[in-house]
Chains A and B, each alone.
Chain A
Amino acid sequence: GAVVSQHPSWVICKSGTSVKIECRSLDFQATTMFWYRQFPKQSLMLMATSNEGSKATYEQGVEKDKFLINHASLTLSTLTVTSAHPEDSSFYICSAKNGYTFGSGTRLTVV
Chain B
Amino acid sequence: DQQVKQNSPSLSVQEGRISILNCDYTNSMFDYFLWYKKYPAEGPTFLISISSIKDKNEDGRFTVFLNKSAKHLSLHIVPSQPGDSAVYFCAASALGNQFYFGTGTSLTVIP
Contact = CB atoms under 8 A, between A and B. Distances in A.
Contact of A42 (B44, B91, B100, B103): B103
B4 interface: yes
B98 A49 contact: yes
B19 to A, nearest CB: 20
Contacts of A107: 41
Contacts of B34: 99-100
Is chain A's interface secondary structure helix, strand, loop, or mixed overall?
Answer: strand
A105 B43 contact: yes
Is chain B's interface secondary structure helix, strand, loop, or mixed overall?
Answer: strand
B43 A104 contact: yes
Interface size class of A (residues with CB under 8 A): 20 to 34
Contacts of B104: 41, 43
Interface string B80-111: 00000000010101001011111110000000
B45 interface: yes
Contacts of B102: 43
Interface of A: 6, 9-10, 34, 36, 41-46, 49, 91, 93, 95, 97, 99-105, 107
